Chain A
Amino acid sequence: DAKTTQPNSMESNEEEPVHLPCNHSTISGTDYIHWYRQLPSQGPEYVIHGLTSNVNNRMASLAIAEDRKSSTLILHRATLRDAAVYYCILGVISGNTGKLIFGQGTTLQVKP
């Protein structure tokens, strides 16, 4: 399984944008890039996923490098409720078993 590399922790100020990086240099052509987050005492929550093009939804944006070896999750205006562990995961969707391989993720702290 292809691996991802994320910083252990990041800090942000409330109401400022946050850019969470992820490196995945061994990504294969069929791997989608998924992002989940986990708030304290809760299960992980889906954030966004993409293959090649940048993606936007109501929670965040996903910017994918042209060579697909890295990606960035963008929270446009961080709130205190965005403080969580953010996981960048590679996975195949077609025939996907749901076997997402989580790393240790990035712990995001949001300061008021």
Chain B
Amino acid sequence: DTGVSQDPRHKITKRGQNVTFRCDPISEHNRLYWYRQTLGQGPEFLTYFQNEAQLEKSRLLSDRFSAERPKGSFSTLEIQRTEQGDSAMYLCASSSWRANEKLFFGSGTQLSVL
């Protein structure tokens, strides 16, 4: 069990550019979640996968955001045409079907949009 891994840890980009983040969940965890956290706030739910199926998306996930989990393993979160308001920590978490109540979070990707 190597934990949830996120890459990159930090990303600085200019407004209008596209960015993509990757999340590798704990192996054999069938559920994967994306959250966003801004300074001083708790994490906000963005979306959730069960295996490769994206089962729920928050209203926070605008059309510029897309997430995939093509083979039910790793996941990517892409933000197109970034805006300064997208600056935040993007957190990934995974959970096992045996213990859905226990989410394991990665250390996140800190995005700064200039």
Residues of A within 8 A of B (CB): 32, 34, 36, 41-46, 49, 85, 87, 91, 93, 96-105
B interface bracket (residues with beta carbon within 8 Å of A):
20 to 34
Distance of A91 Cα from B33 Cα, bound (Å): 15
Residues of A within 8 A of B102 (CB): 46, 49
- A97 with B93: CB separation less than 8 A: no
Distance of A97 Cα from B33 Cα, bound (Å): 9
Residues of B within 8 A of A (CB): 4, 31, 33, 40-45, 48, 55-56, 91, 93, 95, 100-108
Distance of A97 Cα from B97 Cα, bound (Å): 11
Distance of A99 Cα from B46 Cα, bound (Å): 9
Knowing A43-B93, A97-B55, A97-B56, the reply to whether A87 touches B101 (Cβ < 8 A) is no
Residues of A within 8 A of B104 (CB): 46
- B107 with A101: CB separation less than 8 A: no
Question: Which of A93, A98, A101 gathers the greatest number of chain B CB atoms within 10 Å?
Answer: A98
- B40 with A104: CB separation less than 8 A: yes
Distance of A100 Cα from B45 Cα, bound (Å): 7
- B106 with A99: CB separation less than 8 A: no
* Shortest CB distance A107–B (Å): 10
Residues of B within 8 A of A102 (CB): 42-44
Residues of B within 8 A of A46 (CB): 102-104
From A36, A43, A85, A93, B108 is in contact (CB under 8 Å) with A43
Residues of B within 8 A of A36 (CB): 103
Distance of A20 Cα from B55 Cα, bound (Å): 34
Tell me the nearest residue of chain A to B55, going by C-beta: A97
